[in-house]
Amino acid sequence: MSKTAKYGGLGALAGALAGAAIDHNNRGKGALIGAVVAGAGAAGYGYYADQQEKKLRESMANTGVEVQRQGDQIKLIMPGNITFATNSDAISSSFYQPLNNLANSLKQFNQNTIQIVGYTDSTGSRQLNMDLSQRRAQSVANYLTSQGVNGANLSARGAGPDNPIASNADVNGRAQNRRVEVNLGPIPGQQYGQPGAQQQAPQQNNQFQGNPYSQYQ
């Protein structure tokens, strides 16, 4: 049984009891309302992430971006053939649409930690690859915040050739390893209810100012 189903079921039971107690004269109706409201809320981040994952899969269809679910974490894998040109940290034209879709999702589902990680293959020096992957991750972060994504819970780092997902011994494997990953997870201590009812996290001043990418919206 999934976490969402387990805790959602317990919440629904509690809600049914609460609803029956509140509406003594119309106990059946009160129990039903209580079950629906409390069940959704008690499911917590699992329910929230289920809805976010569904929307992301819809918006990333046919873009080349892979959406994975690993427990409470949602991972988006953005392959090198759509992200950046060789040895460049300038966003490729084919990358703007997936990033715009992601930005729209992160503004709707705005209660995540957002970790952006850049990766390279093993060709060249480690220091060069670490620097390049850091710049690429930062380029993605800069673009997302320029589109209105709150940077308060966003981080960017370069991992260079670490954590390969394929062999670096052949061309196809190296191409898979050149990627950007966006990892979404729960904010520690955050209370999660129904998506769409969440409050906007407070905006904080950060290094991402202005919108140099407005022509790509």
Contact 7, 44 (CB under 8 A): yes
Whole-prediction pTM value?
0.72
Residue 212 CA to residue 144 CA, distance in Å, equals: 11
Residue 17: is its pLDDT beyond 70? no
Q: What is the percentage of the chain residues whose pLDDT exceeds 70?
A: 69
Res. 216 pLDDT band, cuts 50 70 90: low
Question: What pLDDT was estimated at residue 124?
Answer: 96
CB 205 within 8 A of CB 135: no
- The model's pLDDT over 194-214, given as tens digits with 9 standing for 90+, comes to 665 544 444 444 444 445 555
Per-residue pLDDT, averaged over 108-118, amounts to 97
Average pLDDT, the chain: 81
Record the tokens describing residue 206, joined without a space: 């950060």
Domain-wise residue ranges, the chain: 64-187+194-216
Contacts (Cβ under 8 Å, ≥6 apart) of 118: 132, 133, 134, 135, 136, 137, 140, 156, 157, 158, 159, 180
Residue 208 DSSP symbol: -
Tell me the CATH class for 64-187+194-216.
alpha beta
Beta bridge partners of 114: 154, 184
Phi-psi region of 208 (alpha: psi -120 to 50; beta: other; left: phi over 0): beta
Percent share of the chain, pLDDT over 90:
66
Residue 93 burial (CB count, 10 A): 9
Average pLDDT over residues 171-181: 96
